[in-house]
């Protein structure tokens, strides 16, 4: 039987396997979580003028995180024409409209890429019972229209959205995402 010396101890093959699992698995989980965190767009949440219930710190962090995740999901779904991704972060009217839009886009053979440069989000209202939150988002985006890998059109835009978020069992989801014309 082959053995390996580690920290002054001889390890057999079965012990090496357990040892490597104990060391390698946490490192892989750490790198995976860091990679996921880097994909999220910046969301600056302003709660200074919120009407209704005041937000607790944990709620503020959860809403900012989940809103950023929703935009990341939207970008992936439109770029890959995969409407199935939408349900992880959107419900109700927002999920229906986005799913329909992505399905129509896929039929055309084109897709959109969002290069997200961040969101300045004002919390307008948080319901006293904690079941909904209205946001006003000023988003800085580069919107590209592509045919395969070829960029047909690209615009850097500032867009405003009104969003309604609602809590689910474990996180907040976007129920309404409506662009507001200036």
Please state, in angstroms and rounded to a whole number, the distance separating the CA atoms of residues 26 and 33: 11
* pLDDT, position 88: 95
Phi and psi at 122, nearest 5°, equal -100, 130
Higher-pLDDT residue of 23 and 81 is 81
Instruction: Tell me what the pLDDT averaged over the chain comes to.
Output: 86
The answer to whether 98 and 177 have CB atoms below 8 angstroms apart is yes
Residue 174 — pLDDT band, cuts 50, 70, 90?
very high
* pLDDT, position 103: 96
Instruction: Examine the pLDDT at 36 and tell me if it is beyond 50.
Output: no
Average pLDDT over residues 72-79: 96
Average pLDDT over residues 86-103: 97
Please state, in angstroms and rounded to a whole number, the distance separating the CA atoms of residues 123 and 155: 27
């Amino acid at each position: 039987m082959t053995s390996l010396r580690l920290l002054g101890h001889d390890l057999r093959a079965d012990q090496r396997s357990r040892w490597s699992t104990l060391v390698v698995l946490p490192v892989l989980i750490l790198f995976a979580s860091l990679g996921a965190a880097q994909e999220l767009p910046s969301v600056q949440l302003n709660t200074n003028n919120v009407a209704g219930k005041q937000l607790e710190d944990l709620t503020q962090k959860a809403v900012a995180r989940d809103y950023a995740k929703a935009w990341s999901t939207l970008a992936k779904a439109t770029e890959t024409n995969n409407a199935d991704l939408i349900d992880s972060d959107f419900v109700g009217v927002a999920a229906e409209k986005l799913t329909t839009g992505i399905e129509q886009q896929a039929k055309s053979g084109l897709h959109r890429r969002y290069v997200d440069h961040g969101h300045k989000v004002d919390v307008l209202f948080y319901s006293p019972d904690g079941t909904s939150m209205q946001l006003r988002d000023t988003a800085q985006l580069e919107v590209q229209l592509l045919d395969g890998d070829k960029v047909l059109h690209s615009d850097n835009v500032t867009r405003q959205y009104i969003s309604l978020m609602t809590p689910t069992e474990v996180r907040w989801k976007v129920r309404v995402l409506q662009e507001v014309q200036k």
